[in-house]
Structure 1
């Protein structure tokens, strides 16, 4: 009898173990399914309306893990190293091309995309990604001059060369970007922002160094805050950053110098090592919806490439030529090209040497 009881106990124990194993496997499967309902999103800081992330999760069930970077170079390095997997990120134009060449991006499956007919044709098929095989525009804009119109007239900063006027001593904030600041200097010398001449770059560096007495500081994202607070009278920055500063300080205005500037594009791309590609496509489709793109444009202040979203914006925004430039201005804008490692290093070195002259 004891043997029978012992055998029965063994059978019961085995059943319990099997039941426990089944429960564990079900839980593991549930956890795996839950972990698949994730979007690992790598974006610039303060570059999406957080309410849209909440709305996306509510509508799709995907939880968003949101991480930020402060430069294209930092983002590129992190993606290339591959230690962390991201499903979606937002490089600028020339960096898209750089990532394509480094085989870091997943070609887009247009059968999985919805709403692509909402985009302005002019903003698609750019040279950094012909036929948009790897990227879709997120925002676009310009590089220009943000200024305090109570102190400075529009005509006094109508040209890049005006910045070198001694009356602006210690009044200018520069965005901390080699391509942008050397680019504006090259344009002031009637050169291309994509110039690859050693002599031209040296001349630009020399001229830029002579601007230093007028430079109050070289800063990053905080430039818009400083301008809004009246810490400086002039800031060289991006149109969207200018819009955010102007929203906080009505004394500010923004313009693109008449000789031309940079037209930039920030873009959605899916890294090749993305683990949740369904989530990435779901989010792109979500942001392709005009009402979501319009909400994001109003929050961020940058120009939307989504024509249907543009039509939902207030007329005051649609007609604002500071942020949706006229064709005359557009014709004088340049998109940054991927200069390659050699020339990227030359620009970075020239800019670093310039920054080292700051007193």
Structure 2
């Protein structure tokens, strides 16, 4: 049986692994296209045929550059757009970037495939009226684990944040905001309220747990599981779903305390040099064919109803990709809480890692 590539394996298979490399269509096209879209995206976050398919359909090429986290994206654009046409920030960074006047309002008339978006994603609390952003994927943080090494189902954040049981076999996210928020959820606090006293408790708990943690990973928890370097990790559902195809001993669960919902968004940054081509590219990504190709490759849940209709039951009925509604009901989007909160999150995790 052929194994589909994981998000990282896709680009690795093309012989490219470094963040920041630029790709031009990936199609081996016969002639250089007359117009280009400069696409700034997460590593291995497109379908096998996404870029070449758009070029074939439109005659417009795509230069794709890679970033590793939202902070890197924000920093790159904060001083002015260096030439990007489409970017893919997470939902709270859409709020953050909009407040900083870093995003261009979308022209919905140029995005007719917006009709393909599932009703629940047609509007968004972080972007009312879809003024700045179209949904690309949605995702939820949870616990990935190796069933043969873990006793039962680790259905609480306790097993990664507040227990020595799997000492030296635990990996947690290095993302400061998400790690702080998840710890707040475990402590029963409101992750969407910036409270310094709560963050002090978060810091104390994580410092106590640090000796049990093998690594603070940069969104490669699934690789640590697959290689056997760790047995239990904090990771996104799509990442764990990728490696579950390769190793049946791996599983994913959303903890009973709840978690963070996220949705990565397609946006046009202010100052984009090719806004018409950017709209055309976003519209293409929202097509049934492109959406299905993306979902087959990266294994994240799609907000695209037309794409979902093309997917097989193994994808649609996979509880790692689409966790039970009862679990999702306890999850919520993270709000942008202001620059002071982001600095506080960073300070907490800096102190934890230095302890």
TM bin, normalised by shorter chain, reads 0.7 to 0.9
Aligned to 2:321: 323
Aligned to 2:212: 214
Worse-superposed segment, 308-317 or 332-341: 308-317
CA-based RMSD of the aligned residues comes to 1.5
SS at match of 2:165: helix
SS at match of 1:169: coil
Change (3 A) 1:326 1:221: closer
* 1:100 CA drift (Å): 0.6
Q: Tell me which of 105, 111, 114 is aligned to 2:112.
A: 114
SS at match of 1:354: helix
* 1:279 CA drift (Å): 1.4
Contact 1:260 1:329 in 2 (8 A): yes
Change (3 A) 1:108 1:264: same
Aligned to 1:160: 157
After TM superposition, the structure 1 = structure 2 runs for residues 10-159 of structure 1, keeping only pairs within 5 Å, are 37-82=35-80, 84-155=82-153, 157-159=154-156
Task: Point out the structure with max Rg over C-alpha.
Answer: 1
Q: Over residues 264-323 of structure 1, what are the superposed CA-to-partner deviations in whole Å (9 max), with x where a residue is unaligned?
A: 010000011011112111111111111210110110011100012112111122112222
* 1:36 CA drift (Å): 5.6
SS at match of 2:245: helix
* 1:35 CA drift (Å): 7.5
Q: Distance in 2 between matches of 1:114 and 1:55?
A: 18
Equivalent residue pairs, number: 323
Contact 1:172 1:235 in 2 (8 A): yes
Aligned to 1:15: none
Q: Tell me which of 243, 246, 253 is aligned to 2:244.
A: 246
TM-score by length of 2: 0.88
* 1:184 CA drift (Å): 1.5
Aligned to 2:224: 226
Q: Over residues 249-270 of structure 1, what are the superposed CA-to-partner deviations in whole Å (9 max), with x where a residue is unaligned?
A: 2211011001100000100000
Q: Distance in 2 between matches of 1:321 and 1:249?
A: 16
TM-score by length of 1: 0.87
Aligned to 1:184: 182
Aligned to 1:19: none
Contact 1:142 1:264 in 2 (8 A): yes
- Does 2:265 correspond to 1:292? no
Aligned to 2:27: none
* More helix as a share of residues: 1
Q: Distance in 2 between matches of 1:53 and 1:298?
A: 15
Contact 1:182 1:208 in 2 (8 A): no
Contact 1:79 1:85 in 2 (8 A): no
Contact 1:148 1:252 in 2 (8 A): yes
